[in-house]
Amino acid sequence: MNKKQAQEKINELRELLNQYSHEYYVLDKPTVPDVEYDEKLQELLKLEDQFPELVTEDSPTQRVGGEPLDAFEKVEHRVPMLSLGNAFNEQDLRDFARRAEEGVDGPISFVCELKIDGLAISLSYENGKFVRGATRGDGTIGEDITQNLKTIHSIPLNLKEPETLEVRGEAFMPHQSFLKLNEEREANEEEPFANPRNAAAGSLRQLDPKIAAKRNLDTFLYAVGEWENSDVTTHSGRLEKLKELGFKTNPEWKKCSTIEEVMEYVEYWTKERPNLNYEIDGIVIKVDDLNQQDELGFTAKSPRWAIAFKFPAEEAMTKLKDIELSVGRTGVVTPTAILDPVRIAGTTVQRASLHNEDLIREQDIRIGDTVVIKKAGDIIPKVVRVVEENRTGEEAEFHMPHDCPTCGSELVRLDGEVALRCMNPNCPAQLMEGLIHFVSRNAMNIDGLGEKVIMQLFQEDLIQTMADLYRLEREELLKLERMGEKSVDNLLKAIEASKENSLERLLFGLGIRFIGAKAAKTLAMEFENMEKLKEATHDELIAIDEIGEKMADAIVQYFEEEKVKDLIDDLQALGLNMEYKGPKKKEQHEQENSVFAAKTVVLTGKMENYTRNEAKSLIESLGGSVTGSVSKKTDILIAGEDAGSKFDKAQKLGITIWDEEQLKEALESVSE
């Protein structure tokens, strides 16, 4: 067989295998026996081995998983993957519907969907080809897991039309895959996964794609981040179109005209939930009309046009074996219940929060008690009540200690607080928790320095302070368990790279009381460098929006500490950046006075000088907001060639319409 014949046969086999795969994994309607699929796949593998130059990234043979990765690359979502607001009862849903109806003109309808309990993912396609897949991460920054996602057969490597779009959905592990995986792990004397969600997330964050390929994951796609040249005007229409393109969408969605229909859907699936082959933790309700979605807009954290109804928390009864104490980075001593393992809401629970001594006293919780455990919002287990009728008289009362369980210093209760605190700044538990916080994603974001590694470094006495992280040496790291040359080199590179972080990351990482990531950004933008912030007075601080009395007091007190001054000097000497690198106030002022400031802009049609993403980024950098559909709230429509229905609608609504030349002039006038 020559190369031309091989190419023809390869194309024929790929088309057949893609068809069989779509029928089996997406439509759940296989048309050929598994043995025939396997025979065709083996035939394709042999041909690709014989003609390796004909192998392509979208071949069905590439789903088995490629070479292991050293680390996941970071990915910035061009459109943030926001979380949804929650509803816990019928009144919450009715309030959501009322707010939505008051916020738009005309009748409103909703789409209800099952809320899949898995890992949120983003899939990007260019001209119909799958080019990148990422995790949600913190909603703004995720991780590139393309190679692992390619192993999931329900994700198309090629769409049925040459669309350029970014779609969102959930990767999950079906029940049978989860049971099989845990059976294998137990046979290998490995710890089983607690629930299918953890198993799915753990599978997709494996650096070796071959491991993900063996885990039999699945997906449902349910949303769009960006979609060039789409004229679909409803969410339900998008779901239908996604299905036509070859994506697997959940068939159980329903369009509802009234809130009563929504309530019926919620009630039905609350009862039917156990009969599904996958985990769900609620129902998502969305306004169907995309223009109405644009009119309703977003809060800082979530869309106003969607809400997640959370199923009522499940309860279970178990034995409280012991109460364990932990010391956080601020010195707060927290009691935790150690339980006989019990299954609740799809998870094996062995620990539950007791919050503080007052709660233990109020509920008269004793070691040895039978207790009822509840998962609040399907997330955090807590002790709800004691089953007193099960007491035998052998239960033991619990008393908080007078001294810190880690360092032995006296515990104190500050005025107005219920928590006991260790006030020793050199308490090993506080130091270690502080280090874990310092390297975390929203702080210095040092890849490879997870909680286990920090604990290992701390226990080996290689680090005591944040500055010690920047003194770690290659040879001493190589002596540690599970530290190979490649992982050590990557870790040292990540530590070195963190020195260039903007000031707000360092400020948040220092762990100043009451100062979260947002306040750290505000302070960094206001004072621009560490030296000015250190010298700031209480009055100067409270004059800043978002900085209150408690925060100002905490900042002043923090920088008055000699050990803090020494730490800052030490970090600066080690080369850490002490300057704010984000947009300065002056730049913000320019942004606020640009032609796009506070304007809602829609892009449509083809442009010669800019890609859609370039134009969007430039407009947003000047204070504008770019949305996907035209509504009454649109201020400017920028129309390229073949503008289509968005142009017609903008004309009907009397919206300002620019051509590409006007956009170019506006952008160039700013750069001058």
Interatomic CA distance for residues 313 and 378, integer angstroms: 6
Structure tokens at 548: 């209150």
Which H or E run includes 626?
Answer: strand 625-627
Structure tokens at 524: 């960094």
Structure tokens at 295: 């009119």
Interatomic CA distance for residues 227 and 239, integer angstroms: 13
Which has the closest alpha carbon to 379: 83, 646, 80?
Answer: 83
Beta strands in 136-270 (DSSP E): 141-143, 165-172, 218-227, 254-256
- 117 phi and psi, to 5 degrees? -95, 85
Neighbours of 539 (CB within 10 A): 8
Interatomic CA distance for residues 173 and 195, integer angstroms: 9
Interatomic CA distance for residues 155 and 149, integer angstroms: 7
**Number of Cα atoms under 13 Å in the Cβ half of residue 515:** 26
C-alpha distance across the termini of the chain, in Å: 62
Q: Kindly give the interhelix angle for 428-438 and 451-459, rounded to the nearest 10 degrees.
A: 140
Interatomic CA distance for residues 542 and 474, integer angstroms: 45
Burial 478-498 (b: 16+ CB within 10 A, else e): eeeeebeeebbeebbebbeeb
Interatomic CA distance for residues 47 and 13, integer angstroms: 10
Q: Which of 9, 29, 40, 115 is catalytic?
A: 115
| Class of residue 320 by CB neighbours under 10 A (exposed 0-12, middle 13-18, buried 19+) | buried
Interatomic CA distance for residues 437 and 508, integer angstroms: 9
Beta bridge pairs of residue 285: 112, 307
Interatomic CA distance for residues 606 and 164, integer angstroms: 13
115: annotated active-site residue: yes
Place of tokens 């979208």: 58
622 contacts 583 by C-beta, under 8 angstroms: no
Q: Which residues are catalytic?
A: 115
